[in-house]
Chain A
């Protein structure tokens, strides 16, 4: 079953923050986050494993609450390069098959 992402779209000014949520109705083993720019392949951002971990890369970080079966991606002090569509991919077990959410379109304006 496809995880639910919210919001569907967000418009930011450069330097502003945003949060993207990814919720599943099923227990999760891991959550993967990717960013895709128009006409290009998705680019890996990070993986979070069950255990309630948090991760960060530059000013993009994420958390995973396995009890709530949800993950959040935090865009801090957004840059123009952060524009794109963000997808979460969830894994129910260590079988490496991902089910992707509907995506969140992010537009960062100068």
Chain B
């Protein structure tokens, strides 16, 4: 059971370039989300989805787009990367119906924007 899989694990971009961080889960979870982790700031929610076709903004959504065409996949798009987006990104999922459901995290993707 793979759980939550993120790709790539490392990426270096130049300012203005675009890229997509991929996230896939094989647990049939309804809820998926993206966080960024910066030193001294903990994890902050970027976007989340409660099911296919439904997405919503989190705490720091600017500069990021998401879509949820399938239950399994929840890609995060950076349309025009900026140095402020240098961070470690985590995708996470959980069952939608259980309020106490554990959040399962991917291994993270380290993004550097030069």
A and B interact: no
